[in-house]
Amino acid sequence: MKVRTRFAPSPTGNMHIGNLRTALYGYLFAKKTGGDFVVRIEDTDQVRLQESATEIIFKTLEQTGLDYDEGPGKEGDCGPYFQSERRPLYMEYAKKLIEKGAAYYCFCTDEQLEQDRASAETKGETYKYPKTCLNLSKEEIEKRIARGEKFVIRQNTPSDKEVSFDDAIFGHVTVNSNDLDDMILLKSDGLPTYNFANVVDDHLMGITHVLRGCEYLSSTPKYNLLYEAFGWEPPIYVHLPLIMRDAQHKLSKRHGDKSFHDLLDDGFLTDAVVNYIALLGWNDGTNKEIYTREELIEAFSLEGISKSPSIFDINKLRWMNSEYIKALDFDKFYEMALPWLEKEEILKQYDSRKLLKLIQSRTEILSEIPEKLKFLPSVKEHTTEMYCHKKFKLDVDGAKESLIQVLDKYKAIDNWNETTIHDALISLAQETGKKNGMIMWPARVALCGLDSTPGGAVELADIIGKEETIKRIENAIKMFN
Ligand code: GLU
């Protein structure tokens, strides 16, 4: 059997982390097993539909390299892949269910349903549609349809039946059909609900493994009743664990949790985010954390998916992002980082390649770049204590002495560049018998006013230029007087 997975997003907004993980796992499993990864756009909920959301879906799949084998723009044998273009199909299949007694027309108005609900509530009962329209005669149905009355088609759930299925992650799930409502399959606008369309389409598209969020776990028995009524083989269900913001709360856009594109806007790299998301609910039993795409495909298995929720840890993602940034070749980093420099007018006065070389290995996310370079236009107020350094055996007096010596050396350099600055400082160490750090440390603090400096005394001096370097060292010496 050739594996066929699908990603079936509803275009209702941004690409959330959970959705992207579903897409990724579906892709990885298909690629691992030599199967097909299918994309289907579930756009039947006209109320929640957002124009731009479909674009976001395709853009995300492209950016993340989750290439699909079949879907919009890549027609296979099972199209169309937009559910809104499959409308006639759903009516046809709903009618088949009606013939089998597994579904029925319902003409109840909203007011009537509201009354039923209210009366159930007053009796303290859980509301379930009371099957009012189940036994309408064929003639009456035809008459009412001909009169133009609005109708929906509902599932006819059998009473008191154990409905169960085996989920690849969550194991055996059973519910009693008395706890299931006669859900709407086809709405009065002729479009299907998710509950119906997912079954019809997964079957018609030959999907073998349904990977999706575990919020669908409890509805799946209802879907299995539909498969049964049609006489179709249900797919293998792979419900994915929850992603949490912390121990108590699910990740949710309503609470401001970031979407995939929000993370990119914050300066995370696509590959780092995808790598991190892969580990949210899956591991291959090793401690490995950084994976190339090929390695992920190779290592991925359904057995590695856990059923316990995983926590989206932004600090872990930052760490992973910094590893990706470090591993970029400089030209690639430069290309990615440049837009962040350009947002800050002041940084345009400096050599952008040198600036970015300085901070590549010290950057966790690209948006920190301007902050890291804040020392360039001017040195922040700081204290003489920052010049003291245990390891370099530097106290206030020692630091001052080094600064005075460094100043002379800097002043004597004619041709100002990294090599001449480097040679001057090293020769100072040799002449004075001081360790390099005793010379370099005070100089670098003086040049940026920070004790966690974005670079060494040589690179910093080179970038800010001779005149500014001398000014900063002189100002620092004044602090000691
Ligand atoms: N359209 C559903 C959603 O976006 C898909 C659920 C599924 O994968 O079956 O949540």
Please state the three-class secondary structure of 335-348 as a single string: HHHHHHHHCCHHHH
* Closest alpha carbon to 3 in 297, 235, 296: 235
Which residue matches tokens 């070749």? 329
Q: What is the pLDDT of residue 344?
A: 80
Question: Is 8 near ligand 1, meaning CB less than 6 Å away?
Answer: yes
- Taking 50 as the pLDDT cut, the residues of the chain under it are none
Burial 19-31 (b: 16+ CB within 10 A, else e): bbbbbbbbbbbbb
Question: Is 5 near ligand 1, meaning CB less than 6 Å away?
Answer: no
Pocket probe for ligand 1: among 4, 7, 10, 167, the residue whose CB has the most ligand atoms within 8 Å is 10
* E strands in 177-235: 184-186, 209-213
> Distance of alpha carbon 453 from its chain centroid, rounded?
32
Amino acid, res. 171: G
Which candidate in 253, 326, 354, 393 is catalytic?
A: 253
DSSP string, 257-321: PPPHHHHHHTT--HHHHHHHHHTSSB--SS------HHHHHHH--GGGB-SS-EE--HHHHHHHH
Q: What is the pLDDT of residue 115?
A: 94
Distance CA 89, CA 92 (A): 5
Reported as a single tens digit per residue, the pLDDT across 410-467 is 999 999 999 999 999 999 999 999 999 999 999 999 999 998 888 899 999 999 999 9
Q: In what order do the strands lie in the sheet with 36-39?
A: 36-39, 4-7, 209-213, 236-240, 162-167, 171-176
Active-site residue, 59 included: no
Compute the C-alpha angle 291/295/296, nearest 5°.
75
Q: What is the pLDDT of residue 243?
A: 97
Do the Cβ atoms of 238 and 211 come closer than 8 Å?
yes
Distance CA 394, CA 410 (A): 20
Pairing of strands 152-155, 184-186: antiparallel
Neighbours of 391 (CB within 10 A): 9
Q: What is the pLDDT of residue 47?
A: 82
Q: What atom in ligand 1 is closest to the CA of residue 6? A: 8
Pocket probe for ligand 1: among 82, 216, 238, the residue whose CB has the most ligand atoms within 8 Å is 216
Amino acid, res. 439: I
Instruction: Locate 309 and state its tokens.
Output: 């929720």
Q: What is the pLDDT of residue 253?
A: 77
**Three-state DSSP class for 369?**
helix
Distance CA 349, CA 405 (A): 29
Q: What atom in ligand 1 is closest to the CA of residue 211? A: 8
Instruction: Locate 365 and state its tokens.
Output: 């996310």
* Closest alpha carbon to 276 in 257, 260, 253, 262: 260
- pTM for this predicted structure: 0.93
